[in-house]
Structures are given as structure tokens and as C-alpha cells.
Structure 1
Amino acid sequence: MSSNISIIIADDHEVVRDGIRARLLGTSDLKILAEAKNGAEAVDLVQRHSPDVVMLDISMPVMNGLEAARKIRENKHDCKILMLSIYDATEYVQGAVKAGANGYLLKEADAREMLSAIRSVAAGGLYFSAKVAPSLMPASFAPAIDEEQSRQHSNRINGSVSATPPPADPSRICAYGLSGRERQVLQGIAGGLANKEIAEKLSISVRTVESHRLNIREKTNGGNTAHLTRIATELNLI
């Protein structure tokens, strides 16, 4: 690892970027090159600055973090990608791995863990917060791997997991990190069903449907029904 690790920070919330910057400033081996407020800006900044590490928030406008990670890999950049998120859901973690991320750090991480994560991925390793560790276990992926491969792929370090998970089954990964229930709700929305009709069809409450609908909009950066219908079409739900 070089004496200075160059970093690009991408998050749509200025207060979050400020917080990350505050944690990293004054650390002799880290250098912040630039900051982005959406995924498209992050991809452009990586192209221009070739950082060692890019820290990508998953939920961003214009282009979300997963899409940005895939674009960075498509552009053949060898920078390390450290995803940032408030979500610890399996779909998000596996989606990040599939997109080419080297690590997944929850935003609740303290400064010490954040520094450890950055240094780990910069050195060529992988870093995943402890809460998302179960998402990296063989049972969470398909095809399954044998016990010896599992031992080689997973190694718990200081309450986190440094791992090289086996390839994920694309059919089980949702590009937007939607859960199975959220995909069902999205399918209902795209089918023109009202919240009450979706609730009856799925045997859940209207309030639960409304909650899922809000989550879907946040995860997909979606707005109106037409946009959500396009997302559903993209995911082959209709």
C-alpha cells in the first residue's frame, strides 16, 4: 500500500460527506481528492482522478451507488470500491458484491472502523461490517460452495468480515436492493393496483404496503407510477 491513499467520497447528503471528511482529515496516510453528490459525478471523478479508493453511498440520485460501481468496473478502473449504506439487508450486500465492490461499510461505523475499512480495501483486501457478515455466508449465495471453500472464503477479523465470497446467482440479486416483498409490491404498482388491492393480494396491511412503497421509491430514486413501472419492466416483473 502506498504511503498516501487517495479517496473520492460520493454521497448525496452534504452533512454525511462533511462527517466522513471530518473523520478522515488529519490522518497522515489518507488524502481526499474530490467529493460527489451522485453516482454519475462519482464515475466522472474516478475517470478524472484515478483514486485508490472510492466510497459510494448506495442510495443516490441520477445514478445510485450500485450502478456507479458497475460503471466504474465497466470502465476498467482498478480503484477499490467501498460501499456505504444505512441498510444491512442481504439484497444490498450481495448486490454490491455483484457490482464489483471490495467492501460494504454501514454508516453507523465509527471513525476507527471506517479507517480500517479504507486501509483494508486499499491494501487489496475486502472489508464488510459485522452486521452484514451473514450475507456473505455460502448459504446466501448460489451455487453453494463446499466446506473447504467456505473456510478459505471467509475470515472474521476484529468484529468484521474480510472475505472473498463465491459468485452470486444473478437471479437472486436485485439491482436496486429490493427485498422479495418489495418486488411483489412493485409488481402490483406496475400492474395498476391500488395500495388496498396490493394489500389484499399479499395478505398484508395497507400501512405495510405504504411503507414498502416508500422504501421502493427511496431505493430506486423513483417518483411517480410511470417511473416505477419502468423499473418493474427493467427487473422483468411485468
Structure 2
Amino acid sequence: MKTYATLYLADDHQIVIDGLKLLIGSEEDIKIVGYANDGEAAHAGIRERKPDLALIDFSMPKMNGLEVIFSLRKMLPDTKFVILSMSENIRDIREAQNGGAKGYIRKNADRATLMHCLRAVLAGGTYFPDVKTIAAESEKQLFTPREIEIIKLVLDEYTSADIALRLHLSRTTIETHRKNINRKSGTNTPLGLSKFLLQHQIKF
């Protein structure tokens, strides 16, 4: 009786494959049964090995990860697919979800997160980044570090003159920053700004 799950790796950078082997190779419940460095080789290898799980790079030459999944998911209904990517783009995550992947893990994830993702998918679940959190972080990046400083003071009911004194800047400079903040948030009052931050789940 097999006591481990089989895993196939696909990434066009051999250093990534080697790193994954080091991270996963010591696990007793997961056995790596093959790897490939391009989409066509991955397609052939997965079709031949029929692994329980395939961890596939989103972007590869010849066939990308989603194309491999789309081509194999009906042929190999027992194989689960997880996308490996550097991207944190919400569109890419949703494409992976809609394309048949059961998980999506970023290449900068730590070992514990990677193993949690793989085991969750092997157990019949899914693992995807929280798109709401990513969206909030994207919104947060709308504001420059200086604008964030000013937003905090505006919400603490400091006037432009007070902020200028506190930050050792001219009042004109503060007013320019506040105009940019108002433009980005679509409001020109502290209350409206507070509502914007709350609605978009932005916390500083």
C-alpha cells in the first residue's frame, strides 16, 4: 500500500527545481517522481507519470502552466495541479482558479507555507492567496510614504499648518500632497478619507 503522494515539478529555471527538491525531498509523505524545464516536457512527463500532484510554473516556454493544466485535467482527473508563480496579480490568481488549478503558491513562499499548500490540495482542498488582502495592499500602494504620513495626521485632525510644522515642510508642499491624496481617494474631507480607507480595507 502506497504511503506517500507523488509529485511532479515543472519550472523553466533549474535552480528553482533544485531548490524545491531540497525543500520537499526530506518529506516522508511526498515523493518527487519527475521534473521538467518547459511546458511540453511537463505535459509529456505528467501524462506518463500520472502523479497525485503537479507543481507547475505559471510561465514556461513552449506551453505555459495553465495550458498544461487545461490539456491534462480531463485526461488525468486524479492529478491535482498547483500553480507556482512570482506574480501576485489578482487576474493571474483568478485565471489559475478558473483554469483548473487547485492551488496557487508564490515562489517567495517559505517552506512551511509551501508544504501547507501542497498538503491542503492533496487532502482534497484548495489553496489560493487571499485576493481581498492583495487588493488592499495594491490600494495601499496608491499612496507614497509621505502621503501616508500626512494621511495619518489628517485623520488625527491636524491642520495643514500643523502638519507642515510637524514634518518640517512648507504649507504649500503639504497642500500639494493633500490635493494628490484627495484625487486618489476621490474625497476632500477627513471623514471621506476615513471611509475610503475603511471600504478598501487599507490599514497603515
What TM-score do the two structures reach when normalised by structure 1? 0.53
Provide runs of 4+ in structure 1 moved above 6 Å.
Answer: none
Q: How does 1:180-191 map to 2 (within 5 A)?
A: none
**How far apart, CA to CA, are the structure 2 residues paired with 1:21 and 1:104?**
18
- State the match for 2:118 in structure 1: 118
Relative distance call for 1:102 and 1:135 in structure 2 (3 A) is: farther
Task: Determine if the alignment matches structure 1 residue 86 to structure 2 residue 100.
Answer: no
- Aligned pairs for 1:138-157 within 5 A: none
Deviation of 1:133 after TM superposition, in Å, equals 5.4
Distance 1:77 1:40 in 2: 19
Partner amino acid, structure 2, of 1:63: M
Q: Aligned-pair RMSD on alpha carbons? A: 1.8
Contact 2:50 2:76 survives alignment (8 Å) = no
Residue 77 of structure 1, CA deviation: 3.3
- 1:87 CA displacement: 0.2
Matches within 5 A, 1:64-213: 64-130=64-130, 132=131
The amino acid of 1:47's aligned partner reads R
Instruction: Determine the structure 2 residue equivalent to 1:37.
Output: 37
Deviation (angstroms), 1:39: 1.5
Q: Which residues of 2 match residues 54-73 of structure 1 at below 5 A?
A: 54-73=54-73
User: In the alignment, is the contact (CA less than 8 A) between 1:11 and 1:56 conserved in 2?
Assistant: yes
Task: Give the letter aligned to residue 100 of structure 1.
Answer: G
Q: 1:75 to 1:134 in 2, by over 3 A?
A: farther
2:73 match: secondary structure: helix
Unmatched tracts of structure 1, length 5 or more: 137-238
C-alpha displacement of 1:134: 5.2
Q: What SS does structure 1 have at the residue aligned with 2:20?
A: helix
- Shift of the alpha carbon at 1:101? 0.2
In the TM superposition, what whole-angstrom CA distance separates every residue of 1:68-122 from its partner, at most 9, and x where no partner exists?
Answer: 1111114243211010000011111111111100000011111111111111101
Distance 1:64 1:99, change over 3 A: same
Cα distance in 1, alignment partners of residues 99 and 9 from structure 2: 18
| Cα distance in 2 for residues equivalent to 1:71 and 1:22 | 29
- For residues 73 and 102 of structure 2, the distance between their equivalents in structure 1, rounded to whole angstroms, comes to 11
| CA distance in 2: counterparts of 1:17 and 1:133, whole angstroms | 30
Whether the 8 Å CA contact 1:86–1:107 is kept in 2: the answer is: yes
Tell me, yes or no, if the aligned pair for 1:81 and 1:101 is still in contact at 8 Å: yes
- Whole-angstrom distance in 2 between the partners of 1:18 and 1:77: 28
- Tell me if the contact between 2:4 and 2:28 (Cα under 8 Å) persists in the aligned partners: yes
Flag the structure with larger Rg.
2
**CA gap 1:133/1:110 in 2 versus in 1, 3 angstroms:** farther
Measure, in 2, the Cα distance between the counterparts of 1:58 and 1:133: 21
Equivalenced residue count is 134
Helix, strand or coil at the partner of 1:88: coil
Identity, in percent, stands at 34
Shift of 1:129: 3.2
Kindly provide the amino acid, as one letter, of the partner of residue 110 in structure 1: D
1:28 to 1:37, Cα distance in 2 relative to 1, 3 A = same
Counterpart residue number, 1:18: 18
1: CA distance, partners of 2:105 / 2:33: 20
Native 8 Å contact 1:94 1:135 kept in 2: no
The amino acid across from 1:112 in the alignment is A
Contact (CA 8 Å) 2:43, 2:68: kept in 1 or not?
A: yes
Pair 135,79 (structure 1): closer, same or farther in 2 beyond 3 Å? farther
